[in-house]
Amino acid sequence: MAAPHDDAMNPQLACRLLRVPVEIRHAIYDLVVPDEVHLASRVNGEGAGIEWRVSECVEKRRKDIYDNGFERRTENGSDVVWVRRLDSNWGPHWECEEVAGMGNREGVSKEKNVKGVEAAAGMAFLGVCKTMYLDVMSYMVERTVIHVVDLTTLECFLRIANDHTTNPSAIKTSLASALPSIRKLNITMRFALPICEAIEKLATESTQISGPPSPSPENEEGNEATEAAINIAAATSWLQLVPKIAQLTHLRTLHVWIDHDSKKSWTVVHERAILSPLIRLANTSSPHLALTVSLPMLHPGLETPDRHFLAYCTDCPFHIHRFVRQRWHHFRASDSGPIFDQRCLGTVKHEPDFPLTFESEGWEDCTFEQCESRERELWKAGEDVRGLVKCMQTTTVHPGII
Ligand SMILES: [Zn+2]
């Protein structure tokens, strides 16, 4: 038991919660700490440090697998907010981005604001003191699902978790102490399509994965060259970081969700190249690690066994779950225009994806599964599916903007 003068010398010892038995503290944490949280990082503008944000995940495994982007509209019909949500690189966690306060919270409903406040209450323990931060983080990494949705956070996360050297930074020491014990990790990556193409280029060059290579980035000066370099850096990061997850020896479940942000079909990318670091991970990680991957559905008219893991392929070491892609997309008035520049906001449009028959005229009585199986047969038979169906082509034009 600490003496009074000890409390005066070290204010952290004065926290009564830290004095109660660990079982009681964990029972309290169990009431206020969410089952799933997001860990996000961003560079501190005033120094070289990294600011960490822990926030509640409110996605809660959507029951409706047919979410297509239409559900992201706001109650007041704000087109700016809808566009932002459709563009969110948090993908299916677009609501979590708002709760985390990582993006513009304009248009966030009262209900979601309440969720955010509740999450903040649960997370408040992290801000009490450094000792409490470590205590709560140590509890969380052993029980909660940790979500990471960007490569920068994943890189920082793995660097800290695998850094066994001492560091005088208290926050770093707290994270370094807790993160190696992580049990459940979820990674969500909504790559820009050029990053997928850069991954294909790098992976096929290094491993000779079959299939035609994508065009090389144009060697031009200016923005295009800079953008190409950024895409190559992101692709390199993805290929190099994922295998390092094997160093998290306490990790028991890893779920990875991947998509790209283009209106084009997922099937245009070299899926095997994108999954190549996960395959290396599966072959080197502990047998106790359960690895699952969620990918968009493949288009039967575009899929090939040398670029994709088709349903009958048996050479994938983990389970792949296929989901239905976002069908409402933001079409910018100018490809290079900033998203929130009102003059360049563009339009929101429904872009059909396989199965095209779903939600189309004449197929209303068919379930999604019936559309999928029947349309797959049509594509494989060489039928002109686009000519057979009349897909929903509703276009929303933003008044006063275009
Ligand atoms: Zn989430």
Write the pLDDT tens digit of every residue in 242-294: 999 999 999 999 999 999 999 999 999 999 999 999 999 999 988 899 999 99
Distance 392 CA to ligand 1 centre (A): 30
Reply yes or no on whether the pLDDT at 299 is more than 90.
yes
* Distance between start and end Cα atoms, the chain: 69
Residue ranges of the domains in the chain? 4-327, 328-402
Reply yes or no on whether the pLDDT at 145 is more than 90.
yes
Helix (H, G, I), strand (E, B) or coil at 290: strand
- The DSSP annotation for 355-367 comes to STTTTSBT-TTS-
402 or 104: which carries more pLDDT confidence?
104
Helix (H, G, I), strand (E, B) or coil at 128: coil
**Cβ atoms of 257 and 188 closer than 8 Å:** yes
Given this model, what pLDDT does residue 245 score? Answer: 94
Distance 148 CA to ligand 1 centre (A): 9
In 54-167, which residue ranges form alpha helices assigned H by DSSP? 79-87, 94-99, 110-123, 130-143, 151-161
Reply yes or no on whether the pLDDT at 164 is more than 60.
yes
Spell out a b/e string for 203-213, using b for 16 or more CB atoms within 10 Å of the CB, else e. bbeeeebebee
Distance 64 CA to ligand 1 centre (A): 16
pLDDT band at 108 (very low <50, low <70, confident <90, very high): low
Reply yes or no on whether the pLDDT at 386 is more than 70.
yes
Distance 147 CA to ligand 1 centre (A): 7
Please count the residues of the chain: 402
Distance 14 CA to ligand 1 centre (A): 35
Please state which of the ranges 153-162, 258-267, 326-335 shows the lowest mean pLDDT.
Answer: 326-335
What's the mean pLDDT in 353-364? 83
Distance 126 CA to ligand 1 centre (A): 19
Write the pLDDT tens digit of every residue in 174-195: 666 788 889 999 999 999 999 9
Reply yes or no on whether the pLDDT at 338 is more than 50.
no
Distance 214 CA to ligand 1 centre (A): 33
Distance 103 CA to ligand 1 centre (A): 14
pTM: 0.83
Distance 53 CA to ligand 1 centre (A): 13
**Cβ atoms of 328 and 348 closer than 8 Å:** yes
Given this model, what pLDDT does residue 340 score? Answer: 44
- Cα separation, 56 vs 36, in Å, equals 6
Reply yes or no on whether the pLDDT at 401 is more than 50.
no
Given this model, what pLDDT does residue 311 score? Answer: 87
- Cα separation, 27 vs 267, in Å, equals 47
- Cα separation, 122 vs 141, in Å, equals 15
Distance 37 CA to ligand 1 centre (A): 7
Tokens of 30: 């169990």
Distance 261 CA to ligand 1 centre (A): 18
Distance 158 CA to ligand 1 centre (A): 20
- Residue entry with tokens 């990674």: 187
Helix (H, G, I), strand (E, B) or coil at 53: strand
Amino acid at 198: A
**Cβ atoms of 328 and 382 closer than 8 Å:** no
Distance 159 CA to ligand 1 centre (A): 23
Reply yes or no on whether the pLDDT at 214 is more than 80.
no
What backbone torsions phi and psi does residue 270 show, to the nearest 5 degrees?
Answer: -85, 90
Pairing relationship of beta strands 36-43 and 50-56 according to DSSP bridges: antiparallel
Tokens of 76: 């007041």
Please state which of the ranges 57-66, 107-116, 156-165 shows the lowest mean pLDDT.
Answer: 107-116
